Structure 1
Amino acid sequence: MSVLATVHLVRHGEVFNPDRVLYGRLPGFGLSDLGLQMADGVAEWFVERANRIQRQPAIVAASPLQRAKQTAAPIAAAFGKKLETEPNLIEAVNAFEGMSNVAATLKSTPSLWPKLRNPARPSWGEPYIQQVQRMVEVVQRSRDVAVDTLGPGAEAILVSHQLPIWVTRLATEGRPLMHDPRRRECTLTSVTSLVFEDGRERPRVEYHEPNAHLLAQAANLPGA
């Protein structure tokens, strides 16, 4: 089965966040030193892939948030590409944004409990289905532009955030969008690849961890 295009969804690297804040869309949360090392590592992974398959990406784009753009910058530079900004790749809205130690805060703050009434939506933030819709719009547009630019087999690289990437994968695989955040397979600078093939209605999913050797050193908040 021939590959029409591959769109890679990359999660950003580790963020400097000593207070373990659920930072969401808050400004001022850039990559840590380890996160910058991760960004360089995922760029090297894509260069090695490009050399192996003899094909460079047509597009490198990122969420407008600092941590995503910092992760994408070495990838774009490695291929001499202009880094594009895609607003629809942004992190999900979350009512608990800005909190640290979220579980304990929720337990001790009854006024916040109504936000937990419907985890299937979820009631504390941007509905999962809306995240999927905006992510899929960028994926499909990037796929089409990549193919128009470089022909069949073209690739695009999109740097985003854990939750939007994960629910996009769930939707692609036909799984329920409601899930346990602790069970997401989407580590820092992981690559979730959507492989579009002729004759298949849905893309095939591949998953890679270019910086697996660094993950034990990293601070990691679900959804961050």
Structure 2
Amino acid sequence: MVESEAGLCPTCWREVQFIGGLVCDQCGVPLPGESDQAERCDDCLRVERPWQRGRAALLYEGQGRQLVMALKHGDRQDIVPIAARWMAQVAVPVLLPETLITPVPLHWTRMLKRRFNQAALLAEALAHYTGHAYCPDLVQRLRATQSTKGQGREARFAEMQGAFRIHPRRRHRLIGRPVCLVDDVMTSGATLAAVSEACLAAGASHLSVLLLARAQKSPYISGNA
């Protein structure tokens, strides 16, 4: 039994590690302690991020990772409504009233194999819940990048350089406007950095990122909230 359609059963709910409390203001990873000001994690202090603020709904481990993988590779699109609601709950700090929501795109060859872009499904549902403007094809992926799984940080960032551009017929929608990039998961941030740079170069005034899940290196996690 679940509380609502597309909801989680009690067992799965207990095992999902939702992010709450003090978080990194740029990538959303949970941080230990308390603070009355914006804080950044070690990764964001070490690596310059082209976006200003970021949030994530849950940790990319355990049941959270299983949910992301089920959506991404298991065609479990029924996860989208509840996942988007979780993302909307943490989105307040990164969504200005005039923010344009857009997904991180897939290359067309991968789109043919998968048949859908999970980031686009999340972004569309999120825009529906928050009432913000949505543009599904603002960003184009110019080449099919190789999998960066198992690669170091430098290799990941190098692979993503020049892989994205703004759709020529959509550029007018972001000029002088804040943009929020939506994706299912962030590990190194290389993909988000490349997309952010393309948006800023095209005239966006402010970049933020919103994620379903955030991978982390530190042992600090929050309870369910």
* TM-score (structure 1 length as normaliser): 0.39
User: Structure 1 or 2: larger helix share?
Assistant: 1
Q: Flag the structure with larger Rg.
A: 1
Q: Which has the higher contact order (CA 8 A, sep 6+)?
A: 1
